[in-house]
Amino acid sequence: MKPFNTGGHSAYQNRVLTQLRKYYPDADSSFDSATWDIMEQFWFLDLSPVDQIMQDRYSKYGPPPRLPSDLLRSYLLSMKFKVTSITSWGSQLKQNCLYAILSGFTVGDTPGVGTFYDFFSRIWDSDKNNISDPVHPPKEKPKKPKKKGEKAPPVEKVTVYELLDKFKISPPQDFAPAKRLFEIFKSQFLDQSARKGLINLENLALSGDGTPVYTGTWERKTRTCDCLEKGIHDCKCARIYHQPDCNYGWDSHRNCSYFGYDLYMLTASDSENDLPVFPLLGPASRHDSHGFLYAWFSMQQFLPEATVIKLLLDSAHDSMAMYEYCAEHGIQPFIDLNGKGGRPPVYKDDFTIGDDGVPICREGFRMRLDGTESRKRRTKYKCPRISFIYGFPICTCENRCSDALYGRTVHVAMKDNPRLFNDPPRSSKEWKLEYNARTSSERCNKREKVDYKLEDGRHRSTKLWYCRLFAIMMCQHLDAWALPKSSHLKDLFEQAA
């Protein structure tokens, strides 16, 4: 039978208020302030549209099902109360009246664990629990980087240029099974944050970064051959992998290898609350430059209305292909240099270029920034040895490289090397101030992994990992919404008293 929500969100509020008065008559002193905040958040959170979104996932026949809105609300509550096990949450719903009431259930009539797993299967648009084929040959493990804190070299055999050209023609489909999850997240949380002015999808500055997600201690697999019986221990035959979308990667923060996913998150860097916009789970060995392309082209398919004007990325994304793509699509890139891309040995016959794209004069001095002409897409630098004598700028260098009194000037054209020559230049305060906002990615990842205990899920399938990830992202947006100064729920209790 199709889910039918009689009364919508008002009916949920009535159920909550009626049962709270019955089971917690002295509610003012029964709960602490943190619990009251959670109660207020879910009191105002209207999830009734989810029942309509999930209509096609239910049969016309059979007994009436649990409302998808109640199941989703209950799952979000498990994130809020830091219950990481679905089995444990199902048990606590039966034991803790408050959890059942806030979920929208009747005390004594709560769903079992199987109902939640059935809901996760309905919200996942695929018959398979994972994205990759579980039977495949062993994959190459990333090599340990030479220096501590560095990222591991990529194991992919394709360059950023090649992958970019491929996705322009045929975008990746890895995110397709999570389409409905993203639809619920977008309609009920992301769009709501946009309406509240917390994020501007029409004028968006995005920060991107990958972070490791540990899912297990080691790789679980089963042989499909009899090589071991023949004494061959390191054969390259295909195996059955129990977590086919995961593999081994390198955690540059902890300086060790790990097994799991690489979570690439696109975050709104211009939002005060570091709000997540689009996630993508990939294999742990995937390099961040590739992870960005997978996430970026997936976001364009499922969030086409977003207009990105700025991209803030770390040095792992420092590739000429990125800058050329941004120039083609009118996006302003703020990407840190990694030192491996090289610099032109000589620029305009007698100038070299520093690590941050600043010209160095013939005498070895860094030149001074003297403004940017955006229309002509060039930046002007002036002599670094200028001193004002009697109010006039005069070059004081012993070996002048120009006959002009104010010394040599040079115009750096962005078209010559868009990777080194930016607008604004990397040496400017404007560039540094904007790039500082890239730390929103770290703060967003911290919220998910530390505050909401993302890695404590201990799931075996990508389906459940995506369900957990999106639930946490929903809670992040919910936390950013300002609550009324006075507690509306408490006021209703006082009126009843």
Interatomic CA distance for residues 346 and 358, integer angstroms: 12
Interatomic CA distance for residues 178 and 22, integer angstroms: 40
Quick one: pLDDT at residue 140? 76
Quick one: pLDDT at residue 390? 61
Interatomic CA distance for residues 365 and 283, integer angstroms: 45
Interatomic CA distance for residues 187 and 123, integer angstroms: 15
Quick one: pLDDT at residue 155? 78
Q: What single letter denotes the amino acid at residue 459?
A: H
Neighbour-count burial for 319-355, b at 16+ CB within 10 Å, e otherwise: bebbbebbeeeebbbbbbeeeeeebeeebeeebebee
3-state DSSP assignment of residue 104: coil
CA torsion, ordered 41, 46, 50, 52, to nearest 10 deg: 170
Q: What is the DSSP string of 47-87?
A: -THHHHHTGGGS-SSSSPPPPHHHHHHHHHHHHHTT---HH
Quick one: pLDDT at residue 490? 66
Interatomic CA distance for residues 208 and 265, integer angstroms: 6
Query: Counting Cβ atoms within 10 Å, is residue 475 exposed (0-12), middle (13-18) or buried (19+)?
Result: buried
Query: Counting Cβ atoms within 10 Å, is residue 408 exposed (0-12), middle (13-18) or buried (19+)?
Result: buried
The closest alpha carbon to 143, from 157, 153, 158, belongs to 153
Interatomic CA distance for residues 287 and 152, integer angstroms: 8
Interatomic CA distance for residues 218 and 246, integer angstroms: 10
Quick one: pLDDT at residue 199? 95
Quick one: pLDDT at residue 391? 64
This prediction's pTM: 0.89
- Sheet containing strand 378-382, edge to edge, reads 368-373, 378-382, 410-413
Sequential pLDDT tens for the chain (497 residues): 898 888 999 999 999 999 998 998 887 777 888 898 999 999 999 999 999 999 999 999 988 899 999 999 999 999 999 999 999 999 999 999 999 999 999 999 999 999 999 999 999 999 999 999 999 888 877 777 777 767 777 777 889 999 999 999 999 999 999 999 999 999 999 999 999 999 999 999 999 999 999 998 888 899 989 898 888 888 889 999 999 999 999 998 888 899 999 999 999 999 989 999 999 999 999 999 999 999 999 999 999 999 999 999 998 999 889 999 998 999 999 998 886 655 665 666 667 777 677 888 877 788 888 887 777 778 888 887 777 766 667 777 877 777 776 777 887 777 777 787 777 888 788 889 999 999 999 999 999 999 999 999 989 999 999 999 999 999 999 999 986 655 666 666 656 54
Quick one: pLDDT at residue 340? 66
Are the CB atoms for 13 and 44 separated by under 8 Å?
A: no
Quick one: pLDDT at residue 347? 65
Q: What single letter denotes the amino acid at residue 385?
A: R
Quick one: pLDDT at residue 410? 80
The closest alpha carbon to 476, from 292, 272, 284, 304, belongs to 272
Quick one: pLDDT at residue 342? 58
Structure tokens at 381: 């630098």
Could you tell me which residues come within 8 angstroms of residue 336 by beta carbon, excluding any fewer than 6 positions away? 313, 314, 315, 318, 435
3-state DSSP assignment of residue 137: coil
Estimate to the nearest angstrom the gap between the alpha carbon of 149 and the chain centroid: 21
Q: Where on the phi/psi map is residue 377: left (φ > 0), alpha (ψ -120 to 50), or beta?
A: left
Quick one: pLDDT at residue 376? 75
